[in-house]
Amino acid sequence: MSTKTYDIVVVGGGTAGAFAAATAAQQGLDVVMLERKDEEDAGHIACGDAIKGTSTFPDVIDLDYLREESFTNENISRAMFLNPEGENYDVPFGDGGGAVVDRKRYGEVLLEEADRVGADIQYNTVVKDVIQNGRVRGVEAIRRGNQVTYESDVVIDAAGALSLLQDKVDFEGTNYDTNVDYSQFCSAYREVIEIPDPIEYDDAIVFKPTEELGYLWYFPRSEREINAGLGFQMSEPPMPLVDVLKRDLDSRPEFENAQVKDKLGAALPTRRPYDSAVAPGFMSVGDAAGHVNPTTGGGIPGAAKAGHWAADVAADAITAGEPTEAALWAYNHRVQTDFGKRFAAMDLYNIFGSAHEVDELTNIVTSLPGQAILDIMGKKGELTLSLPEKIKTVATTAMNTRGHWDTLYEAYRTNKLASRIKNLYNRYPTGPDEFAAWRDERDALMDEVYEVTGADPKY
């Protein structure tokens, strides 16, 4: 058994972990990233591969190199919603567009860049336990069959959904969010397929609703290479993901004679971000902290930000002395007042959806204008239209949703509650002393959500 000492230990080599390690190294800290896969397979992660915009990535790595190497389709200008009950629905992005990446090459570049700026990356390393004495002080791992102790001032948990580390840390006496359950997560599966002839919609990311509060997606890496996948909420009965995807692929003429190049499954959070993701000497980032858009499953930009912010705050805490919960709290504040407030607002639509049938939701969604859908699914987390647009929306939606007006009114009230949630998250406390009062106010607001939607409590 050997012992190694670092300023920061990062567990996990995905987006959040790589940006955390790169940030710490850029700040002159001694940082190690522990990745369970070998070097050849590292970076191979199940993902939809789509990114809406690229300007928010932290510049602690060479972003131009990342784009050149891994962004395979930067021509995404619209979203296409496939309606199983009627006409398809096109929504132009209008401002900024998006891209689809080769996720494995993307992951490889992040690891290359973390290494280039000075992070120590150790592959084939499986973390088994944490070291805790008053605070988290490192981890125990098996590296290439040998037991290794990694001591550190701060451990950054980037180990993904339902992280093992969170089962090992004793959070007693902290505000770390332990109200986490498998039903708040999604099971997903995707294939990368190659088709003989170019598709007509290589400028679009395509969504199609499925049973069990899920959706199919078709995201074109190029005009002949497609990331095709689907997922479902674990709060619902299980869905045979592989069979459902195969049936849909077989029903679409553009995928005739398609060849599967890669296949992979994963779990990901479809919940609000953790209320607090810090404890003395410990921080969680990315999927390990619920930093995923709960309506689309998109998590790359948020994970990049979270990893960067966590390492930045950890560096300040280490320099100042003891990395207490209070010293690390600024990380929570950055997350919750940035993308956290949007994701918390979007989570209300998941809760609303859990109380209704898929065909009814499809009828309502396809009656909304494109900008409203974009706002709800990612841009704002709430519907934000001008007065003329609102009048037009009410008239058109009312005409097209006869028989569902009670549900439509629930959706309207849910949107109002989403606005209130965002405002509350703007007032997320700057320190742990005010956290309990803030959480009580948020929980009271969530009680209103459950009353309006009729949904079972999610948390």
Distance of CA 146 to the CA centre of its chain: 33
Q: b/e for 296-320, b at 16 or more Cβ within 10 A?
A: bbbbbbbbbbbbbbbbbbbbebbee
Q: b/e for 51-90, b at 16 or more Cβ within 10 A?
A: bbebeebbebbebeebbebbbbbeebebbbbbeeeeeebe
Surface-to-core class of residue 4, CB atoms within 10 Å of its CB (0-12 exposed, 13-18 middle, 19+ buried): middle
The DSSP secondary-structure symbol of 338 reads: I
**Tokens 């109002």 found at:** 416
CA distances from 286 to 17, 65, 304, 370 (A): 8, 22, 8, 29
Q: What's the pLDDT at 385?
A: 42
Q: Global pTM?
A: 0.90
Q: What's the pLDDT at 17?
A: 98
For 342-390, give the secondary structure using H, E and C: HHHHHHHHHHHHCCCCHHHHHHHHCCCCHHHHHHHHHHCCCCCCCHHHH
Q: What's the pLDDT at 365?
A: 57
Spatial separation of the C-alpha atoms in residues 280 and 282, rounded to whole Å: 6
Q: What's the pLDDT at 98?
A: 87
Q: Which residues contact 255 (CB under 8 A, 6 or more apart)?
A: 193, 195, 226, 228, 249
Spatial separation of the C-alpha atoms in residues 31 and 20, rounded to whole Å: 9
Helix or strand or coil: residue 8? strand
Q: Around 14, how many Cα atoms within 13 Å sit in the side-chain half-sphere? A: 25
The DSSP secondary-structure symbol of 164 reads: T
Q: What's the pLDDT at 108?
A: 97
Q: Tell which phi-psi region holds residue 368, choosing left (phi > 0), alpha (psi between -120 and 50) or beta.
A: beta
278 residue type, one letter? V
Helix or strand or coil: residue 230? strand
Q: Are strands 125-132 and 136-143 parallel, antiparallel or unpaired?
A: antiparallel
- The pair of three-digit structure tokens given for residue 200, joined into one six-digit string: 């007509």
Distance of CA 133 to the CA centre of its chain: 31
Surface-to-core class of residue 347, CB atoms within 10 Å of its CB (0-12 exposed, 13-18 middle, 19+ buried): buried
Instruction: List, in order of start, the domains of the chain with CATH numbers.
Output: 2-74+95-176+273-338 (3.50.50.60), 183-269 (3.30.9.10), 343-453 (no CATH)
- pLDDT means per 10 residues, the chain with 459 residues, are 96 98 98 96 88 76 95 92 75 80 96 98 97 97 95 98 95 97 91 95 90 83 95 79 92 94 92 98 98 89 96 97 96 98 93 74 55 51 47 45 62 90 98 98 98 94
CA distances from 228 to 27, 51, 220, 308 (A): 39, 15, 8, 30
Surface-to-core class of residue 26, CB atoms within 10 Å of its CB (0-12 exposed, 13-18 middle, 19+ buried): buried
Q: What's the pLDDT at 386?
A: 47
